[in-house]
Every structure is written in structure tokens, then in C-alpha cells.
Amino acid sequence: DAGVTQSPTHLIKTRGQQVTLRCSPKSGHDTVSWYQQALGQGPQFIFQYYEEEERQRGNFPDRFSGHQFPNYSSELNVNALLLGDSALYLCASSSLSEPQHFGDGTRLSIL
Amino acid sequence: EDKVVQSPLSLVVHEGDTVTLNCSYEVTNFRSLLWYKQEKKAPTFLFMLTSSGIEKKSGRLSSILDKKELFSILNITATQTGDSAVYLCAVSLPRSNTGKLIFGQGTTLQVKP
């Protein structure tokens, strides 16, 4: 049974570009949450998707947007990339009966 | 503002030692407290605590929650080099298991042979 899978593993972009990160939840999970983890810090909540809608949002600018598809997979989009967006982006999936399980993350580097 | 604070930030011990990691929180609408272990990549789930005073155990790891004093501890007995990792504490806000998680900054544990 596959857990949470994220792609790509690593990504290098330049300032001003746009990026899309992808996440497939664990089988049986219907809720997807995205987190940003800077080096040496705990993950910071970006937003959460359920039933294809954004249900909760953290303190991130509108440059961060997302989407959830009917099969529960999700995308995170970041526009107008800044140097400060360099981080590990983690996706977590969950359901009413299970706590959040995390994927291995996408390491995003901005040059 | 909701806040989770972990201590110590880093810890170096030798194999066989026992360690205690601390997590305190100040949040409104507390639902549960979770512990994760993060090695290279994905944080892996260890425990979820919702009730005060009930210890959860898994092998050499155990954890307990005090909702009156707003803290939790994670104990690891007979540490092994494979326990070296960052241990993350997180508080879940309402919406059962799917509520957003507020993380502490983590405790980096290094276990030397």
C-alpha cells in the first residue's frame, strides 16, 4: 500500500518563475495539507484541501495556490518565486480515522 | 498567536542513555498533540495524544500529555544510533484528525555509539 507520494523530489528555479508541485495521498485518505519547512525549522502550514476546495489557509501570500482533483491528489502552485521560497515542501494526507501522514517532500531551491 | 515550543533544541547522548524531550504549547481550541520523527525526509508519525495522564508506548518510546500545564514529554529509553533524528511536536486544531498542525521547531537528537 503506497503512502503519500510527492513529485518532483528536487527542483531548481530562478526568481520570478512559477512552480507546480504534486502530491498523491495515501490510499483511503481524502484530505491533503501542504507545509513549508525551512532549514532548521518545523513545518509551517500553507493550506488544506478537502472535497476539491481549500478548507483552511495559513499565513502565506496569494502567490501560493493549490488544487485538489476528484481522485484526491493535489497540486501546490507558487508564482513569482522569491529567494525566501527555498524550502522543503511537504504534503500530508489524512482522513477522519487517521492522523496526517507525510510524503518525502519536494526540495525547492531558488537561484 | 498559537505557539508550540520544544526543548532542548539539540541533544547529544551515548547509546544506552535515556532522553526526555519537552513540548509546551499555547493554542486556542486544542484538539490533540502529535509527535513525529524526521530523519532525512518525511516526518513519520509516532504518537497522537488527546487525553491527559494517559501514557502511550511503542517499544522504547513513550509519551504523555498534561492538558492542565499545557505540555507533553517524549521519552526514549536505551537509545540507539538509529534514534538519531529531529523529533517534531505538533498541535492539532479542531476538525478531528484533519485539522491543521502547528509545529514546534524540533529537537535534534544525536546518539553516539
**CB pair distance less than 8 Å for A96 and B44:** no
* DSSP secondary structure string for all residues of A29-79: --EEEEEEE-TTS--EEEEEEETTEEEEE-S--TTEEEEE-TTS-EEEEE-
Closest chain B residue to the Cα of A29, Cα to Cα: B98
Question: Could A41 and B106 be called an inter-chain contact, meaning their C-beta atoms sit closer than 8 Å?
Answer: yes
Mean pLDDT for the stretch of residues B105-111: 97
- Judge: B42–A48 Cβ closer than 8 Å, yes or no: no
Q: Do B93 and B18 touch, CB atoms closer than 8 A?
A: no
pLDDT band at A12, cuts 50/70/90? Answer: very high
CA-based nearest residue to B67, from B34, B24, B103:
B24
pLDDT at B95: 58
Q: In this predicted model, what pLDDT tens digit does every residue of B19-33 receive, in sequence order? A: 999 999 998 788 889
pLDDT range class, residue B41, cuts 50, 70, 90: confident
Across the interface, of B48, B97, B102, the residue whose CB is closest to A96 is B97
Residue of A40, A45, A95 lying closest to B101 (CB–CB): A45
* Angle at CA of residue B33, ends B27 and B39, nearest 5°: 120
In this prediction, residues B75-94 reach a mean pLDDT of: 95
Predicted confidence (pLDDT) at residue B97 exceeds the cutoff of 60: no
Selected residue of B21, B31, B100 to mutate for chain A interface (largest A Cβ count, 10 A): B100
Q: pLDDT tens-digit profile of A67-94?
A: 999 999 999 999 999 999 999 999 999 9
Residue A3 sits at φ, ψ, to 5 deg, of -85, -150
Superfamily for A5-110? Immunoglobulins (2.60.40.10)
| Cβ(A111)–Cβ(A14) below 8 Å | yes
- The size of chain A, in residues, is 111
Hey, what CATH topology would domain B3-108 get?
Answer: Immunoglobulin-like (2.60.40)
Is the pLDDT score of B94 beyond 90?
no
- Closest in A42, A90, A97 to B104, CB measured: A42
Length of chain B counted residue by residue: 113
Cβ contacts (< 8 Å) between A58 and chain B: which residues? 100
